[in-house]
Structure 1
Amino acid sequence: MQDGHSVAYESKKLKDVEQHYSGHKKELLVVVHCLKLWRDYLLVSLFVVKTDNIVKSHFMTQLKLTSRQTHWQELLSEFHFVLEYHGSSNHVADALSRRTDLAILGSVAALAFSAVVTSLRDRSHELLRKIQQRRAWSTLSSRAKLDNFGLRMDY
């Protein structure tokens, strides 16, 4: 890339054997193929290989290698490059990767919801108490009789 734009594209059909490679071997094969193809341009300068595969970023420090990987490592050691791993942009969120501001908003919403529930519960208890109190007054008033502007209780 130069100024954020691609300067060349390359494609290659995989051989029958290469089609059975694992995913990280296929991605490493892409890097090796491009380095071989543009060898004359890349040997004389420092360049950056950007990857979204963490396996490639640890390839040069790996201890156990197959014979093919050893050959690739020797080829890669001829070049002066930096391997950049930018990470996955689409992954399943877990507790450590979620945005903290959204987590705070979620907890605030949960607190607000619990406050509303508590308020509704308190109001319903208060309403129930008032209903019971009115029933008691209603029962009491039905037993009471007015006599000469006074109140007399009949029990």
Structure 2
Amino acid sequence: MTQTPVLALPDYNKTFMVEIDASRVGIGAVLQQDGHPIAYLCKTLVLKHQALSTYEKEFLAMLMALEKWRSYLLDRHFKIKTDHFSLKYLLNQRLTTPFQVKWLPKLLRVDYEISYNKGSENVVAYCRLF
């Protein structure tokens, strides 16, 4: 991305897409429709969260984005794009960490589908902090 795009206004008749990404020190997310950004989320992680696995950081990025844009996403189907392949099968996995047990119920309240996007193609959610 070479220039900052102009934010679009949401159209509640179209499908929302949340694109997420996590790095060693932060998370980024973009809420968009038809390829046009509506809102951005960029956050530096506290030390406790920096120690999480990549899977848990991507999961955390998804949860923070859903919490931030709850008013846009509640009561409608939306899509989530991530560059972490195993998150695509989140609901089919065994809960093995306290982190998953605590946060997965929040995802059960919303209607979403997760798709995998290769890391090299996931540049929209890349945050300038990291």
Q: TM-score, normalised by structure 2?
A: 0.63
Match of 1:76 in 2: 107
Match of 1:43 in 2: 74
Greater helix proportion: 1
User: Which residue of the other structure, out of 34, 43, 58, is the alignment partner of 1:27?
Assistant: 58
Query: Cα offset for 1:88?
Result: 5.4
Unaligned ranges ≥5, structure 2: 1-31, 122-130
Unaligned ranges ≥5, structure 1: 91-155
Instruction: Please tell me the root mean square deviation across aligned C-alpha atoms, in Å.
Output: 1.7
Structure 1 pair 17/7, CA: closer, same or farther in 2 (3 Å)? same
- What are the Cα deviations for residues 102-140 of structure 1, in whole angstroms up to 9, with x where unaligned? xxxxxxxxxxxxxxxxxxxxxxxxxxxxxxxxxxxxxxx
**Distance (whole Å) between structure 1 residues aligned to residue 68 and residue 102 of structure 2:** 16
What residue identity is the alignment partner of 2:54? G
4+ residue runs over 2 A deviation: 86-90
Larger radius of gyration: 1
* Residues 95 and 101, structure 2, Cα contact 8 Å, conserved in 1: no
Query: Cα offset for 1:9?
Result: 0.3
Query: Cα offset for 1:67?
Result: 1.8
**Distance (whole Å) between structure 2 residues aligned to residue 11 and residue 89 of structure 1:** 19
- What are the Cα deviations for residues 67-103 of structure 1, in whole angstroms up to 9, with x where unaligned? 221122100111100101134558xxxxxxxxxxxxx
Greater strand proportion: 2
Matched, 1:65 2:96: yes
Q: TM-score, normalised by structure 1?
A: 0.53
